[in-house]
Amino acid sequence: MLRRSRQGHGNIMLCEVPPTVLRALQVTQLHRQFQIHDSEAAALAAMGAGTKPAQDAAATGAQILCLHYSLDMLAYLRTLLNSAGYDALTTVSVADAAMFLKTGKAKLILLGASLETVHGSSVKERFKGLAPAVPVHILTAEFCAQEPSEAGPQLLEQIRGMIA
């Protein structure tokens, strides 16, 4: 259906994707084929815009691994990063994040502050052991409390500085 839609210069967007379905799409890498939105309103707004958001010239598809407990925050990060031209991989699982890191493609890790330590061990140190050259950026509680319109551009600027 997606191929036929695109052949006719259309597209298929997904919205309000249940976490289990989103996980299946991520594991199979099919999430890269769709624009995924948190709500129907967001999907309609994106469709009404008529074009994909401009990509960050520095992004060039760089893979960014995002680990956070909040599915809403992961959806926000995925949308923000993908629209800027990055390849966002998102998960709530430390084990899954470690598996993604082993592929050797991640250029940056965004780590929720609540996940800095899990079961008494440092997640940041674990990731540094798996991928020493990959910077880890902690998403603080202050970042999560900011207005998305302010937090997003600031985060993208920080990312540019970390993976340039």
Gap between the Cα atoms of 158 and 20, Å rounded = 31
Q: CATH homologous superfamily of domain 55-164?
A: Response regulator (3.40.50.2300)
Domain limits, the chain: 1-52, 55-164
* pLDDT score for 137: 93
> Half-sphere exposure of residue 15, counting CA atoms within 13 Å on the CB side?
12
Gap between the Cα atoms of 107 and 126, Å rounded = 16
Classified as helix, coil or strand, 115 is: helix
The pTM score is 0.63
Instruction: Render each residue's pLDDT in the chain as its tens digit; 164 residues.
Output: 767 766 666 678 888 899 999 889 888 888 888 888 888 777 766 765 544 444 444 556 789 999 998 888 998 899 889 888 898 999 999 889 998 888 878 999 999 988 877 777 788 898 999 999 999 999 998 988 888 888 899 999 999 999 86
Gap between the Cα atoms of 155 and 86, Å rounded = 13
* pLDDT score for 53: 44
Query: Which structure tokens are listed for 39?
Result: 């709500």
* pLDDT score for 60: 65
- Closest among 163, 103, 91 to 130, alpha carbons compared: 103
The total of other beta-carbon atoms located within 10 Å of residue 94's CB is: 17
* pLDDT score for 47: 65
* Distance between start and end Cα atoms, the chain: 37
Task: 18-22: list long-range contacts, CB under 8 Å, 24+ apart.
Answer: 19/71, 22/71
* pLDDT score for 122: 86
Given a contact cutoff of 8 angstroms between Cβ atoms, the answer to whether 104 and 57 are in contact is no
Beta-strand relationship, 35-37 and 13-15: parallel
Identify any residues that bridge with 64 across adjacent strands, giving them in sequence order.
88, 108
